[in-house]
Chains A and B, each alone.
Chain A
Amino acid sequence: MTFWNILRVLASGAGFTILVTVACTATGLLIGLVTAMLSRLHWRPVEIMIAAYTYTFRGIPVLVLLFIVFFGLPIVGIRVSPFLSMILSLGLISGAYLSEIFRGAMNSVRREEILAAEAMGMTRVQSFLYIVLPQMVRFSIPGMINEFTSVLKYSPFAYTVGIPEIMKEAMGLAAVTLRGLEIYLAVGIIYFIIYRMFCMLFATLEKRYRIPGLSAD
C-alpha cells in the first residue's frame, strides 16, 4: 500500500470530519450569537445564566462533555445519536467561546453610531440588524477563524463515539497494516489541507467584507 493509497483511503473519512466541524461550528455560532444578543438586554437573570453557561462550558474538556452526553444521558433514559452528541458537546463549548467573541465585537461598535440610528427613527431591532450586526460580524472574523480551527482540531474526538471520520479510518487502517507512522502522518496532512482550505475561504470572506480605510488593507 503506497502513501498515496493511504491518503486516498483516509480521505474517505474527510467528509465526516468536515461535516462534524461545520455542524459544530454552526451550532456554536448560533448559540454564541443568541447569547451575545441576549446579553445586550441587560436583564440580570439572563446575564447570570449566560455568565454561568460561558464559565461552565469553557471549563469542561470536550471529551468529558461528549462522554457525559453519549454515555451518561442514556442512563437517565435519554439516548442521543453519536452525531448529535458530538454537535451538542462541541457546539455548546464552541458557543461559549464564540459568545465572548461576539460580545467583545458588539462592544466595539461605537455607541454613537447606534445612537445616530435611534435618532434617525430606527427601532432597536433595526439598529441591531443594520448597524451592530454587520460590524460585529466583521470584527469577529479573526476570532471566528480561531474558534473554527479549535473545532476542527477537536473533531477527531468524534471517533470515540463511532463516527467514521478520518481518525477512525486511520486507527482501523493502522491496526490492519501496522504502518502507524505513515498513516498518522497522512492524517496530519489531510487535516492541514482541510485547515488551509477553510483559511482561504475565510480570508476571501474577510477581504470581501473589509471596511475600506478602517481595516488594515
Chain B
Amino acid sequence: MALIEVKNLVKQFDDKIVLKGVNLELNEGQVKVIMGPSGCGKSTLLRCLNLLVQPTSGQIIFRGEEITRPGVDVRRLRRNIGFVFQHFALYSHLNVQDNVTLGLRKIRKMSAREATDKAFHELERVGMFDHRNKYPAQLSGGQKQRAAIVRALAMDPVVMFLDEPTSSLDPEMAREVVSVINKLYLENVTMLCVTHDAFLAKYISDSIIFLDEGVVLEEDIAERLFYDHPNPRIREFYLSVVDLK
C-alpha cells in the first residue's frame, strides 16, 4: 500500500484551474521530485497534500485513510508531515533551538528537557548545533534552510515535503542544503520535493514527476526524462534547465 495516493486531484482558484486531475503515488522510503515550469501547480499540489490548500475535488489517501473526506483531523495529519518552505519560514523571534523545540513542546507535548535533548540530536545531525543560539536574521540562507529542515525533522514526520528548498539560495548555499537532503535520502527518509534543481532531481530522487499546466505529463527517472525525451514539452523544459556537465 502506498504511503500517499493521489487520485484525480483538482484545485481551482476562482476561475483558474491550477491542478487538472493529478494522480500520483509515494511509497514509504521513496524520494520523488516534482518538476515543471513556473506556475504549473507544483507548490499548490504539495500544499494540497497536507491540506494547507483545500483541494476542489479528487482523493488523497494518506496511510490508507482518505484525508479529503469531510471531518478529517487536519492537525493530526499535518503532525505526520514535515513541511519545508522555499523562504524557510523560521519563526523570527525565536533562536534556532527554540524554533526546533516549540513544536515538540506545544504539539508533541514533550517536556522542555526532552525537547531540548531531541533538538540537540537533530541539530547535530545536520551540522547546526553550533548555531543553536542564533536567531534567523543572524543566519545565512543555507543555515536558515538547514534549520528549517531540522525543525520539520525533529517532529519525526512520516514524510517530508520540501517546497523548492534551494530556489532562494546561491549555488554554494544550495549545495549545503542539498547535502543535508542527500543525507536524509541515504537514511531512507520518505520525501516529496518540489524543485528546479536538476542536480537534486537527478541524484537525490527515485523518480521525477513532471507536471505541466496542472497535469502529470510523465513520471520517470532522470536518465530517461532529461535526455531526448519523446515529448517535446519535456525535452524543451530540460534543455533549458539542465546543465549536467
Interface of A toward B, CB cutoff 8 Å: 110, 112-113, 115-123, 126, 130-131, 134-135, 138, 211-214
Bound-state CA distance A110–B91 (Å) is 9
Residues of B within 8 A of A211 (CB): 92-93, 135, 137
* With A112-B87, A130-B102, A212-B135: A119-B52 Cβ-Cβ less than 8 Å: yes
Taking a contact as CB atoms closer than 8 A, the residue among A110, A118, A212 that contacts B138 in the complex is A212
Place the interface of chain B in its size category: 20 to 34
Bound-state CA distance A138–B76 (Å) is 31
Bound-state CA distance A175–B75 (Å) is 69
Asked if B50 and A119 make an inter-chain contact with CB atoms under 8 angstroms apart, the answer reads yes
Residues of B within 8 A of A116 (CB): 83, 85, 89-91
Q: Mark B127-143, 1 if CB is under 8 A from A, else 0.
A: 00000001111100000
Interface of B toward A, CB cutoff 8 Å: 50, 52, 75-76, 78-79, 81, 83, 85, 87, 89-93, 102-103, 106-107, 134-138, 151-152, 155
**Distance between A209 CB and nearest chain B CB, rounded to angstroms:** 8
27 A-B residue pairings within 8 Å (CB atoms): A112-B85, A115-B85, A115-B89, A116-B85, A116-B89, A116-B90, A117-B91, A118-B52, A119-B50, A119-B52, A119-B78, A120-B79, A120-B103, A120-B107, A120-B152, A121-B103, A122-B107, A123-B75, A130-B91, A130-B106, A131-B91, A135-B92, A138-B93, A211-B93, A211-B135, A211-B137, A214-B136
Asked if A213 and B136 make an inter-chain contact with CB atoms under 8 angstroms apart, the answer reads yes
Extra contacts besides A116-B90, A117-B91 (10): CB < 8 Å: A119-B50, A119-B83, A120-B155, A121-B78, A121-B103, A131-B91, A211-B135, A212-B134, A213-B136, A214-B92
Closest residue on chain A to residue B133 by CB atoms: A212
**Distance between B113 CB and nearest chain A CB, rounded to angstroms:** 19
Bound-state CA distance A211–B81 (Å) is 29
**Distance between B14 CB and nearest chain A CB, rounded to angstroms:** 18
Closest residue on chain B to residue A120 by CB atoms: B103
Residues of A within 8 A of B81 (CB): 119
Asked if A135 and B93 make an inter-chain contact with CB atoms under 8 angstroms apart, the answer reads yes
- The A interface, classified by DSSP as helix, strand, loop or mixed, is helix
Bound-state CA distance A62–B199 (Å) is 66
Bound-state CA distance A112–B85 (Å) is 8
Residues of A within 8 A of B89 (CB): 110, 112-113, 115-116
Residues of A within 8 A of B151 (CB): 120
Asked if A120 and B78 make an inter-chain contact with CB atoms under 8 angstroms apart, the answer reads yes
**Distance between A194 CB and nearest chain B CB, rounded to angstroms:** 31
* With A211-B92, A212-B137, A213-B135: A122-B106 Cβ-Cβ less than 8 Å: yes
Bound-state CA distance A211–B11 (Å) is 39
Bound-state CA distance A119–B78 (Å) is 6
Asked if B137 and A213 make an inter-chain contact with CB atoms under 8 angstroms apart, the answer reads yes
**Which among A116, A126, A131, A138 has the greatest number of chain B C-beta atoms within 10 A?**
A116
**Distance between A129 CB and nearest chain B CB, rounded to angstroms:** 9
Closest residue on chain A to residue B98 by CB atoms: A130
Closest residue on chain A to residue B77 by CB atoms: A121
**Distance between B99 CB and nearest chain A CB, rounded to angstroms:** 9
Bound-state CA distance A193–B89 (Å) is 43
Residues of B within 8 A of A135 (CB): 92-93
**Distance between B150 CB and nearest chain A CB, rounded to angstroms:** 13
**Distance between B196 CB and nearest chain A CB, rounded to angstroms:** 19
Asked if B107 and A121 make an inter-chain contact with CB atoms under 8 angstroms apart, the answer reads yes
Residues of A within 8 A of B134 (CB): 212-213
**Distance between B90 CB and nearest chain A CB, rounded to angstroms:** 8
Residues of A within 8 A of B152 (CB): 120
Residues of B within 8 A of A121 (CB): 75-76, 78-79, 103, 107, 155
Asked if A110 and B92 make an inter-chain contact with CB atoms under 8 angstroms apart, the answer reads yes
Residues of B within 8 A of A134 (CB): 93
Residues of B within 8 A of A117 (CB): 91
**Distance between B193 CB and nearest chain A CB, rounded to angstroms:** 15
**Distance between B56 CB and nearest chain A CB, rounded to angstroms:** 20
Bound-state CA distance A100–B40 (Å) is 39
